[in-house]
Structures are given as C-alpha cells and as structure tokens.
Amino acid sequence: MSYTGRYPNARPRRLRQTDWVRRLTREHTLSPDDLIWALIVHDGADAEVPVAAMPGVARLNVRAAADAAKRAAKLGIPAIAIFPHIDGAKKDAAGKEALNPNGLVCSAVRAMKDAAPDVGIMVDVALDPFTDHGHDGLLEDGRILNDETVAVLAEQALIQVKAGADIVAPSDMMDGRVGAIRAALDGAGHQDTLIMSYAAKYASAFYGPYREAIGSAKALKGDKRTYQMDFGNTDEALREVAMDVAEGADMLLVKPGIAYLDIVTRVKATFGLPTYAFQVSGEYAMIKAASANGWVDEDRIVIETLTAFKRAGADGVVTYFAPKAAEMLG
Ligand code: PBG
C-alpha cells in the first residue's frame, strides 16, 4: 500500500523534476547482475552464422562460444544459457543425439567453462533441437509420451552436468521431470547442481524466430499445445510452479516474457523463489524490426523492457540482448 496526500500539498511532480531526484527515488533498477545471456551454438565450422529472423544474433561454433563466455565475464554477466543448432543429419525420431556426451552441447559447455570458469553455464533440457519432428518429447501415434520422455530428459540432464553445466533448465513441460532430474543428479553425486525450471511455459507464437535459430522450424509437425500451457490461464501456472517447487526446483522461469508479466508477479508473490523471465526470440525480433525501421529507439526500449521485468518481480531476465544491455549499463 502506498499513501499520498492531496493536491496542492502533495505534488508528485516534485519527485520527477531533476535527474538526480529521479535516480534517488527510482524503485527498480537494472544491472548486469540481472542478465542471463541466451546464446545459440552450432556444430558447423563457421565461427558465426547469422540468424535471419534475429538480426544481431548468430549461431556460434564452440570456439566462438568460448570467446563469448570470456566476453560475458568482462561485462559482468553472471550466466549464459546455451541452445543448440545441430546438423540435420544427426536428428532422429528419438532425439538420440541429446545423449551424446561428446555432442555439441557438452563440447560447448566444456569449452566455455574452460575459457571462463566463473561464468555460470545453463543448459536447456528438452529434445526439440535433436528430434526430426521438432517436438520436445518422444512422439508415438501423434502423441507426446510423458513418462518415457522424462526418463530420457533425466539422462540428458546428467550428461550435461557431467560435462560441467552449472544450471539445468528443463524447458520441455513434461509432468514430473524436475523430480526425475533431481533424483538422477543426486544419485550421481550432483546434489549441488541447480535446476531452473521453465515452470510456467506457454504455447506461444513468440517462439517463431527461435525455431529458425535452432533449425526446428521446418521440422515441427503440429504444435506444442498438449504440453505447453494455454495463454488464457493463470491459476494453472501456479499449479505448475507448485509441483516444480515440490520436486526440487531452485529457480523458476516464466516464458515468454513481456506479455506474461502478470504471471511473473504472481509466481514471485506466491512462492518467493528466485524467479526469472525469458525475453524470447519473438520479443527480440519485434524490437529489432521496429528499431530497424526507425519506429522505436532500440537502446531505450531494451532498457525499458528489461527494467519492466524487474518491476514485475523478476530477479533476472534471460535475454538475447544481454551483451548489449550490459554494455549500456556498464
Ligand atoms: C524448446 C525451447 C523453445 C525455446 C527455448 N527452448 C521453443 C519452443 O518451446 O518451441 C524458445 C526460446 C525463444 O523463443 O527464444 N525446448
């Protein structure tokens, strides 16, 4: 509750008249500490392959990803989340390449930890970059199998952690996967590895450019509405989060970002755990497209949107703008 007097004794504009008083009274601020850099890696030879739908974002090879980790350390960005684009020839119906301890993700994790040991590395736990049908789970007769998928995800998470990942982030939305991953990690002596659960993840058109980025756009058959949430729902998000918390999630993620600030606020207020928002590919692309046309000021809108996540209650933001924002803030 906020109290105020009555005009003319109270004049809210007094607090806005100069830059110093605005800074002094600002309630929410942004710092590089709030950023998790979303980074696309690929298994090709080229250091960088631009993603057409995300101007300014490129898929990086393992070496370039290691350099990016050093850059994050310099910029004061605490963590990087990596997402893989693999050669289409390595994809199959079961997404077996997800379990390759010498595959792209594990190689990138090792190289990045080697280059910048003090930068946290977060990995995505899901099968969609590896399946030829583009779904996050195993597909049988047009249905996504839950429990069978969960068993594979637990294995995938353990392999990534053995490669050195600091945070595993299941983004698949299968039921029960956080508990299964926690048990698999603990069973192998990795009690201290963090789990950031994509606890409330909605089936969203905002993921469009990402599917180009990881090369699953053409592959995806159907949609993800039998596992990702319906965008009309709020209470369901709290039930999803409650289950993940009970299963051992350390940190919570709400996704997409800017259109879901109400969910961020409610999740943070209800559970009080470290809570993050994901400013996803479509949000990035929209800002880039509008600013390329001169319709919005990119620098200002990046800081404004990222600060909005903080205001809504997020402890930080996963964003493709992380290096740009950190440069501006630094
Ligand atoms: C899937 C996954 C997606 C994103 C991260 N992990 C897309 C999807 O669910 O289809 C989206 C990220 C973005 O749009 O930036 N496991």
Pick from 174, 167, 171: nearest CA to 274: 167
Phi and psi, residue 35, nearest 5°: -110, 135
Query: Which atom of ligand 1 is closest in space to residue 172's alpha carbon?
Result: 16
Let me know if residue 56 belongs to a domain.
yes
Q: How far is Cα 183 from Cα 247, in angstroms, rounded to an integer?
A: 9
pLDDT of residue 139: 96
Question: Which residue reads 């590896």 in tokens?
Answer: 130
201 is catalytic: yes
Let me know if residue 324 belongs to a domain.
yes
**Distance (Å) from CA 284 to ligand 1 centroid:** 13
**Distance (Å) from CA 5 to ligand 1 centroid:** 47
Residue whose Cα lies nearest atom 14 of ligand 1: it is 207
Cα 36 to Cα 33, 101, 179, 210, distances in angstroms: 8, 24, 24, 16
Let me know if residue 205 belongs to a domain.
yes
What's the total number of domains in the chain? 1
For a mutational test of ligand 1's pocket, the pick from 128, 214, 318, i.e. the residue with the most ligand atoms closer than 8 A to its C-beta, is 128
Cα 244 to Cα 15, 170, 236, 290, distances in angstroms: 42, 11, 13, 37
Cα 161 to Cα 32, 75, 86, 146, distances in angstroms: 25, 25, 19, 22
Q: What is the CA radius of gyration of the chain?
A: 20
Task: Check: pTM over 0.75? Answer yes or no.
Answer: yes
Tokens in use for 120? 């946290």
Domain that holds residue 258: 28-329
Tokens in use for 299? 């620098």
pLDDT of residue 255: 98
Let me know if residue 243 belongs to a domain.
yes
pLDDT of residue 2: 74
pLDDT of residue 215: 86
pLDDT of residue 138: 97
Let me know if residue 21 belongs to a domain.
no
Q: How far is Cα 98 from Cα 104, in angstroms, rounded to an integer?
A: 9
Q: How far is Cα 51 from Cα 106, in angstroms, rounded to an integer?
A: 22
Q: How far is Cα 21 from Cα 8, in angstroms, rounded to an integer?
A: 20
How many Cα atoms within 13 Å fall on the side-chain side of residue 79? Answer: 21
**pLDDT tens for each residue of the chain, 330 residues long:** 677 899 999 999 999 999 999 999 999 999 999 999 999 999 999 999 999 999 999 999 999 999 999 999 999 999 999 999 999 999 999 999 999 999 999 999 999 999 999 999 999 999 999 999 999 999 999 999 999 999 999 999 999 999 999 999 999 999 999 999 999 999 999 999 999 999 999 999 999 999 889 888 877 888 999 999 999 999 999 999 999 999 999 999 999 999 999 999 999 999 999 999 999 999 999 999 999 999 999 999 999 999 999 999 999 999 999 999 999 998
pLDDT of residue 52: 96
By three-state DSSP, how is residue 49 classified? Answer: strand
Pick from 325, 296, 236, 229: nearest CA to 36: 325
**Distance (Å) from CA 102 to ligand 1 centroid:** 23
Cβ contacts of residue 212 below 8 Å, gap of 6+?
51, 52, 53, 54
Q: How far is Cα 194 from Cα 249, in angstroms, rounded to an integer?
A: 8
Does the C-beta of 136 come closer than 6 Å to ligand 1?
yes
pLDDT of residue 1: 64
pLDDT of residue 295: 98
pLDDT of residue 62: 98
Let me know if residue 231 belongs to a domain.
yes
Q: How far is Cα 197 from Cα 299, in angstroms, rounded to an integer?
A: 30
Let me know if residue 80 belongs to a domain.
yes
For a mutational test of ligand 1's pocket, the pick from 210, 226, 278, i.e. the residue with the most ligand atoms closer than 8 A to its C-beta, is 210
Q: How far is Cα 86 from Cα 44, in angstroms, rounded to an integer?
A: 8
Q: Under a CB-based contact definition with an 8 Å cutoff, are residues 206 and 281 in contact?
A: yes
255 is catalytic: yes
Let me know if residue 216 belongs to a domain.
yes
Q: Residue 96's domain is classified under what CATH number?
A: 3.20.20.70
